[in-house]
């Protein structure tokens, strides 16, 4: 590697080595949020951008540097003339104030961008954490189903030996048990993928934690959403909307900068002229002013004006998009809550009752194995649907939190 590039690579290496390694103990939601808040790459980039624009604000307020020039006429010592001149540009048209204001609006945009990234990462962590929690529950249900299938297969084998059922029933039992094992393998794979996606949010591609510590909320623990009107009022403080507003303000400030450039700057020249032949030094004063005959910055003024229009339209589009996303998230939460209510109130108790009756009847020889298998599948399907409904409700809450920039877990 080139000798000049190596120090740069070594200096930049810590920026790529900040992945947070979580403990192997069960991971709580708050711990996941803390890990992502401290080690997420997008948040780190947004923080660096905010720090960078602080330098832009400082630079915008500086005055232009003076220029020192030396001019010598004739090379002979006795007749040469030497002129020393100091030139200081004087900015007119409010250029410096407009430049500072534009830099400050850029700092506001960077701060709004950081707030938006925080809301997005927080929502992603909440969504990912509940996805792992739901996947854990799916694995637990699949394990229960595998154990039940193994016991049913064993009972069927004993009944075949006793001559009470056909050997075909034993074959069906083995096939059913194998199918349930495949479901368990699939559930474990989904859990591993959910764990990896969650750990990626704090830069760890190989998660150490095996489980998340928590219980998926029941219906009674799901929060009640605020009325739609009140939530639309809070939408005005949404991070994405604040970013769009700050971008519009920045574009307007940049437009003022371009307008100020239409006024030419005055340059004040002060110096002295030393004549060796006359043996004296004369003071030199002067001013220079560009004549805006051809370039009056009209192209840049037009460009900045159109970019203001663009930012204004983007603000309106962002407000409309957030309003639609908020309404959709509310609808998804309500649908998921209603599904969970129906499953918990009617379907789950009925499926559990049918499975208990089929199991008891199978033990006494009143039902066949296929009856038990169908009842078991119905019960597991209802339980999985209930978990999915609760997970969808939490996912919708995370989306609402991302839009409004508030906590809804």
DSSP letter string over 365-383? TSS-HHHHHHHHHHHHHHH
Name the phi and psi angles at 333, rounded to 5: -65, -45
Rounded-to-integer distance, Cα 201 and Cα 294, Å: 54
- Residue 1 scores a pLDDT above 50: no
Q: What is the pLDDT of residues 302-357, one digit of tens each?
A: 999 999 999 999 999 999 999 999 999 999 999 999 998 888 888 988 988 888 88
Query: Domain locations in the chain?
Result: 32-291+317-404
Rounded-to-integer distance, Cα 201 and Cα 13, Å: 20
Output the CA torsion sign for 124, 125, 128, 134. Answer: negative
- Residue 14 scores a pLDDT above 60: no
Helical segments of 162-265, H only: 167-200, 228-234, 239-260
Q: What is the pLDDT of residues 357-392, one digit of tens each?
A: 887 887 776 776 667 777 888 888 898 899 889 889
Percent of the chain, pLDDT > 90? 50
* CATH match of 32-291+317-404 with 1.20.1600.10: yes
pLDDT score of 276: 80
Name the phi and psi angles at 254, rounded to 5: -65, -35
pLDDT score of 255: 96
Confidence of residue 217 (pLDDT cuts 50, 70, 90): low
> Please, are residues 258 and 101 in contact by the beta-carbon 8 Å criterion?
no
β-strands 81-90, 266-275 pairing: antiparallel
pLDDT score of 220: 60
Rounded-to-integer distance, Cα 281 and Cα 218, Å: 93
pLDDT score of 164: 61
Burial of 54-73, coded b for 16+ CB within 10 Å and e otherwise, reads eebbeebeeeeeeeeeeeee
Name the phi and psi angles at 76, rounded to 5: -80, 135
Radius of gyration of the chain (CA): 36
State the average pLDDT for the chain: 85
């Amino acid at each position: 590697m080139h000798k000049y590039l190596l120090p740069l690579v070594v200096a930049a290496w810590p920026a790529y080595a900040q992945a947070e390694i979580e403990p192997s103990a069960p991971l709580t939601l708050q711990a996941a949020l803390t890990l992502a808040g401290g080690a997420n790459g997008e948040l780190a980039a947004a923080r660096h951008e905010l720090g960078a624009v602080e330098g832009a604000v400082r630079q915008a307020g500086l005055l232009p540097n003076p220029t020192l020039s030396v001019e010598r006429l004739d090379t002979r010592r006795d007749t040469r003339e030497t002129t020393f001149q100091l030139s200081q540009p004087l900015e007119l048209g409010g250029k410096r104030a407009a430049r500072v204001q534009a830099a400050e609006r850029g700092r506001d945009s960077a701060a709004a961008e950081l707030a938006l990234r925080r809301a997005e990462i927080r929502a992603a962590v909440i969504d990912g954490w509940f996805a792992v929690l739901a996947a854990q529950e799916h694995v637990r249900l699949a394990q229960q189903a595998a154990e039940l299938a193994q016991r049913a297969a064993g009972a069927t084998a004993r009944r075949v030996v006793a001559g009470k059922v056909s050997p075909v029933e034993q074959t069906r039992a083995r096939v059913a048990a194998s199918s349930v094992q495949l479901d368990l393998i699939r559930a474990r794979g989904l859990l591993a993928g959910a764990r990896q996606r969650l750990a990626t949010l704090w830069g760890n591609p190989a998660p150490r934690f095996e489980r998340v510590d928590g219980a998926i909320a029941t219906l009674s623990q799901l929060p009640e959403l605020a009325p739609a009107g009140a939530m639309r009022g809070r939408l005005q403080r949404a991070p994405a909307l604040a970013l769009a507003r700050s971008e519009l303000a920045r574009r307007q400030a940049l437009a003022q900068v371009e307008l100020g450039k239409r006024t030419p700057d005055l340059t004040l020249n002060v110096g002295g002229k030393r004549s060796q032949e006359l043996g004296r030094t004369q003071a030199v004063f002067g001013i220079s002013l560009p004549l805006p005959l051809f370039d009056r910055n009209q192209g840049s003024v037009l460009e900045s004006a159109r970019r203001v229009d663009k930012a204004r339209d983007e603000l309106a589009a962002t407000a409309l998009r957030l309003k639609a996303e908020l309404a959709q998230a509310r609808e998804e939460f309500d649908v998921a809550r209603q599904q969970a209510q129906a499953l918990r109130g009617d379907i789950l108790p009925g499926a559990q009752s049918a499975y208990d009756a089929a199991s008891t009847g199978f033990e006494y020889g009143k039902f066949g194995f296929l009856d038990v298998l169908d009842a078991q599948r119905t019960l597991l399907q209802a339980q999985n649907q209930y978990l999915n409904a609760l997970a969808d409700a939490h996912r919708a809450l995370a989306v609402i939190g991302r839009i409004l920039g508030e906590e809804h877990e």
